Amino acid sequence: MRDDLGADVDVVLDGGPCTVGVESTIVDLTGAEPRVLREGAVDVARLAAVLGEAPRSAARRPRRARSRRTTRPTPGSRSWRSGARAARRAAAHVRAGRRVGVLALAAELAGGATLPPGAVALDAGSDPGEYARVLYARLREADRMGLDVVVAVPPPAHGVGAAVGDRLRRAAGG
């Protein structure tokens, strides 16, 4: 984390590993109906229970909330794909001579279909919650390894998995 901040901050208080890993959920309550501006660990179902109504889905809103650093920490080139598409994309990058990492849940990597020969496995854990907790650590690891490309396979898009998918899309530039 300190490397991400550079000279912008004089002191960093490190409270240890984050139990969530991804950014906060941001909800706009200024209008007639609640709107999710950024998905985070608090999912729409939990918000609905508290608010008494489901907020409008983050997927159907214009992007108003952004993380201060929308494209870092990520290696210089990144990609976001689902299972079979991830394997094809990673293999194409390997054939082009690039150093490739594949970021995915352990079960995806264990099956071998996602990881082409020559690619580095970046294990995102066993479930979406663990994926969220280790996401930034794995991206920093990819930077330290000098990987040219990280192809990420998002976790299932419910609960915190939706927040991880959102963060991966933003890191990939869209």
pLDDT number for residue 80: 56
The counts of H helices and E strands in the chain are 6, 6
Q: How do residues 74-131 score in pLDDT, each as one tens digit?
A: 444 555 556 678 888 899 999 999 999 999 998 888 776 678 888 999 999 999 999 9
- Find the radius of gyration of the CA atoms of the chain: 17
pLDDT number for residue 71: 38
The percentage of the chain sitting over the pLDDT mark of 70, rounded to a whole number, equals 79
Q: How do residues 122-149 score in pLDDT, each as one tens digit?
A: 999 999 999 998 998 898 899 999 999 9
Q: How do residues 18-72 score in pLDDT, each as one tens digit?
A: 677 777 788 888 888 898 888 777 878 888 899 988 888 755 444 444 443 433 4
Higher pLDDT residue, 15 or 73?
A: 15
pLDDT number for residue 5: 67
Higher pLDDT residue, 112 or 158?
A: 158
Instruction: Note if the pTM is more than 0.85.
Output: no
Residue 90 in contact with residue 116, Cβ under 8 Å?
Answer: yes
Task: Sketch the domain layout of the chain as residue ranges.
Answer: 12-60, 77-171
Q: How confident is the model at residue 167 (pLDDT cuts 50, 70, 90)?
A: confident
Strand ranges inside the chain, DSSP E: 26-28, 35-38, 77-80, 100-104, 120-123, 149-152
Residue 165, Cβ neighbours under 10 Å: how many? 23
Domain 77-171 is in which class? Answer: alpha beta
